[in-house]
Structure 1
Amino acid sequence: MSTPEAWPIASAMLSLGNADPEAGVAQPLRDRWLADLTEVRGAGFDRVDLTDSWLHYGDLSAGQLADLRACLDEAALSAVSMSAIRRSVIDADAGDAHLAYLHRCIDAAAELGVGVVSAGLHRALTDEQRERLWFWTAVGHVDDPEDAEAWRRAVSRFRELGAHAENVGLLLSLELYEDTYLGSASSAVRLVEEIGSDAVGLNPDIGNLIRLPRPVEHWRELIEQTAPYANFWHVKNYARYEDPSTGLYSAVPAYLESGVIDYRTCIKVMAQAGFDGVVCVEHYGGDGLSMSAANRDYLHDRVLPAARGIEGTSRVRQMSSTAGAA
């Protein structure tokens, strides 16, 4: 168990666009990958989350994975986590394909030396969501809380993925996301407990819930309930406005230190719960990479040192926080 000061802080690849082989990238793929990774390194990061909005890692060939590893080495970046998003394993149409893709992501992560793979139950954005400035202002797919068979399928398939991850020395982390079986603290905790694997934990991305334009759980309740099960962590913040008398609720992206979520408190709650994993900084809109770098500095220079000496016992297995050091 290390102190919070040693937690690795990784940059998400959200702001770097789509560099996937199937995206019609104009320049040679290896050149594009190296340019993007070098840009991340230039922002002061030495660790990166392989967010699959940038590349579909589970679809890369062995040669492409080797090229990606070479680009990471050349950019002096360590890939410490992989986030596979919008690949719900209980999607009625694409669930089987998503399950197979996530298995391939786990194998790709093991090949690249990544320690944790994050997945979830959120679906592809709807047409209406894609048309909005902020996609979370439109309602997407909603998992039916009364569908016992879908719940059992989620438990079974995540248990299967967790066994695969454990077999190759990785962790699986399940990301909180609205209107899914991971859309509230109590439901997320129930799900991971029913899965019953110490290789499967939660990614308490409470920003995904706090930004919703409707009444939401308080950020402190969310983090306190999910922290004991956390083995990976997406962090981002939002400025939030609420006026229940008029029914007005709104949120826009903000720096970690200036949004409604108090990350100084969240860090202490996570440390007390025994968290000892990767922290991935994310941001939507504008210069997301620079915002992420500023958030990294806020955490590294001011917040994590303030939590020095706080220790706890996690309910799930943690990866070594020194893994992937560049």
Structure 2
Amino acid sequence: MPDDWTIAAAMLPFPSVLPDGTLVQDAPAERWHYSLSEVAALGFRHVDPTDSWLRVGDLTAARRKELHDVLAGLGLTMPAISTARRSVIDPAHGEENLAYCHRVLEAAPEFGATTVSVGLFQALTDRQREVLWFWTVPGASDPDDQDTWELAVARFRDLGRHAADLGLNLSLEMYEDTYLGTADSAVRLVTDIGLPNVGLNPDLGNLVRLQRPVEHWQSMLDKTLPYTNYWHVKNYYRSEDPASGIVLTHPAPMEFGVINYRSAIAQAIGLGYTGAFCAEHYGGDGLAVAARNRDYLQTLLVGSSA
């Protein structure tokens, strides 16, 4: 039933460093409770911790137990764990990131998570950190190099096999200027990996927000939805001036942005999608907008299931 469909809150709106300089990673469980209670207060029953807030894979067993207890006390479940900026082919940190992703997989079953989302996007550059919207400045990109492509395939296949051993799905998040940066490339990558538990996270918000020409969102969905096993959902306003070539974008609630999620969700359900969703939003009160997105998404799921 749509009311039972898993729609998790992303912890993107919450910083990883507290005002006193303490890392959330090292903060007492009471501080985790404070942030997660805000999520629960807005009616969420599920949460994706999003490792830009808390790295579950780097917690000790005792601290994982603390987190588990906090979640249980608030009536929250963790259906998935998303990693961010942990590219397994990062030239400097690829092997370290691969080991980290394996630790996330090992931790996931303790929380009842069934999916781990990974990607190829790298750390923000200094310039990206300086501007209002980081996606308006080019970041790191994957090289046009077959050996590096094969390395990505091999390392994701390694993670996929580990995930399968643990009864988990591995989802590859689409993101600009990576091997998951276009629909065609993302489908080719997941096909080359060739494991049934490895699919795509078609976070098209990461692409339609780019202030340059991009493939139409409908075309991207047509290609990627058959491979989708987890879905970060968010939307953006997008305005294009063909005469000047200027493209401007800005975060938007799901029902207002350029992606028509009413048709997107109906298409996904029609293709048999049964996975979880993760509601995201950048800027302003991101958590409140994510809750609005959840409510809107629930109406779409009711309509698609009627």
Residue 305 of structure 1 corresponds to: 302
Residue 279 of structure 1 corresponds to: 277
Q: Is the CA contact 2:187–2:223 (under 8 Å) kept in the aligned structure 1? A: yes
Partner of 2:88, secondary structure, is coil
Residue 108 of structure 2 corresponds to: 109
Residue 197 of structure 2 corresponds to: 199
Separation in structure 2 between the aligned mates of residue 154 and residue 129 of structure 1, nearest angstrom: 25
Residue 324 of structure 1 corresponds to: none
In structure 2, the CA distance between the partners of 1:190 and 1:4, relative to structure 1 (3 Å rule), is: farther
**For residues 105-156 of structure 1, what are the alpha-carbon distances to aligned partners after superposition, in whole Å with 9 as ceiling and x for unaligned?**
00111222111000000000000100010000000011122x0010000000
Separation in structure 1 between the aligned mates of residue 222 and residue 2 of structure 2, nearest angstrom: 17
Count of matched residue positions in the alignment of Structure 1 and Structure 2? 303
Work out which structure has the larger RCO, using CA pairs closer than 8 Å and 6 or more positions apart in sequence: 1
Q: Give how far 1:281 is off.
A: 0.4
Q: Is the CA contact 2:234–2:253 (under 8 Å) kept in the aligned structure 1? A: yes
Question: Which of 250, 258, 278 lines up with 1:260 in the alignment?
Answer: 258
Q: Is the CA contact 2:237–2:252 (under 8 Å) kept in the aligned structure 1? A: yes
Structure 1 gap segments, 5+ residues each = 310-326
Partner of 1:307, secondary structure, is helix
Q: Give how far 1:7 is off.
A: 2.7
Partner of 2:49, secondary structure, is strand
> Amino acid of the residue matched to residue 224 of structure 1?
D
Separation in structure 2 between the aligned mates of residue 267 and residue 43 of structure 1, nearest angstrom: 23
Q: Is the CA contact 2:128–2:135 (under 8 Å) kept in the aligned structure 1? A: yes
TM-score, length basis structure 1: 0.90
Structure 2 gap segments, 5+ residues each = none
Partner of 2:149, secondary structure, is helix
Residue 164 of structure 2 corresponds to: 166
Q: How does 1:182-197 map to 2 (within 5 A)?
A: 182-197=180-195
- Asked if 1:66 corresponds to 2:65, the answer is yes
Q: Give how far 1:25 is off.
A: 4.2
> Amino acid of the residue matched to residue 138 of structure 1?
V
Residue 154 of structure 2 corresponds to: 156
Residue 245 of structure 2 corresponds to: 247
TM-score, length basis structure 2: 0.96
Separation in structure 2 between the aligned mates of residue 213 and residue 77 of structure 1, nearest angstrom: 37
Residue 86 of structure 1 corresponds to: 85
Partner of 2:293, secondary structure, is helix
Q: Give how far 1:4 is off.
A: 5.5
Q: Cα RMSD between the aligned structures?
A: 1.5
Q: Give how far 1:28 is off.
A: 4.7
Q: Give how far 1:6 is off.
A: 4.2
